Amino acid sequence: MKKPNKLPACFIALFIFAACNDGDHIKLGDESDIVKPVFEQNALQNFVIDDKTDMSEKIGTWSWTRTDYNIQAAPVYAIEVADNSSFENTRDLITSYSNNVEITYKTVNDAALLFVKESRQITLFFRLRTGLNTVGTGPVFYSGAKSVTFACYVAFPKELYMVGADFGGWDWNSDGVVSLAPIQNNNPEDGAFWCVRYLAAGKGFKWSQDKTWDTAFGKMDTNIGFSNDEEGNASVSADGLYAVFVNYPDKTIAIEPAKVYGIGDAFGGWDTGKYPFTIAGNKAAIVTTAASNLRMYATSGAMDAYNSDWWRHEFNISGGKIVYRGTGEELDAVPVAAGKTVTLYFNAGTGTIE
């Protein structure tokens, strides 16, 4: 039997495809015939989110009527969020093929974190964007705006880094970037960090929780012992060995002359502040008086005011490197003989026992 000629059918299909497309935009006929969605919001207002909030708890619903494009293709919906009613700097929050979305505390708090870096009152604006495929194929429809006002929660960071002229050459990828040690408060409460570094006068530096310029800062609400230049870089006015203390809970940064002490039987007792290191330039040194385990800590006026427990600022020497207790358990014991000179080089992160 003779096979039918499929070529005319191919031409017909190609013609139909070309007629339905115009520069990658699907022809859907008269736009006025398309049933556009109605966006509704039923949500709690004027609430406070904090560290005790159950983020999974439902606080409302976004819903909308289905859009009918008059073709066999499912519409795709996206909820956009902005921190202003004109929807400048808009972000996509949720994409859905359904016609409703549950709102939880996490939903709105995650939306707030797109725009803020600290816990505060905020009003967010939401609207529905409707289209086909990736919500970009037209025609695209935008709903009217809905808003939610609340106090968002930004958790204190678990890490903090310092970069500067002498600390990585302003390159966040450098090994010279300083990793500050965390302090665990009595609560316990995160968000306080410290380091000891030799700082040169006028040499700038900044901090960031994730080694990016997006989160970089050079000051907080209260700033002690340093100044900022026109670019917001922090610097000290005199060379010296300093304790750098960044306190998120109190929004305070204090840079004060470092106080470094030995403590325990290797130095004669457990009284705090009694066995100071001698500081000369970028190094600190002390001589042990008895054979025992080496224990050391650093502090400053601001660090003591935040939490005076010496072991929260403790460090030791392991394999020639300075190691910090941070929020961890007690450091491994480091036996030391009497009459040994312990020397610390904080900028290099090294120490010797000789």
The torsion region of residue 225 among left (phi > 0), alpha (psi -120 to 50) and beta comes to left
Closest CA to 349 of 204, 179, 201: 179
Distance of alpha carbon 140 from alpha carbon 85, whole angstroms: 19
Distance of alpha carbon 194 from alpha carbon 314, whole angstroms: 11
3-state percent breakdown (helix, strand, coil) of the chain, nearest 5: 10, 40, 45
Grade residue 336 by pLDDT with cuts at 50, 70 and 90. very high
Q: How far apart are the two ends of the chain, measured CA to CA in Å?
A: 101
The answer to whether the CB of 19 falls within 8 A of the CB of 25 is no
Distance of alpha carbon 43 from alpha carbon 95, whole angstroms: 19
Distance of alpha carbon 281 from alpha carbon 260, whole angstroms: 14
In this predicted model, what pLDDT tens digit does every residue of 213-248 receive, in sequence order? 989 999 999 999 999 999 999 999 999 999 999 999
**pLDDT, position 137:** 60
Q: What are the chain's domains?
A: 31-151 (2.60.40.10), 161-256 (2.60.40.3620), 259-353 (2.60.40.3610)
Examine the pLDDT at 70 and tell me if it is beyond 80: no
Buried b or exposed e, range 195-216, using 16+ CB within 10 angstroms: bbbbbeeeebbbbbbebeeeeb
Average pLDDT of the residues in 43-65 = 96
Give the residue with greater pLDDT, 12 vs 185: 185
Q: Pairing mode, if any, of strands 178-179 and 161-164?
A: antiparallel
Least confident of 51-55, 242-246, 347-351: 51-55
Average pLDDT of the residues in 132-148 = 81
**Confidence (pTM):** 0.72
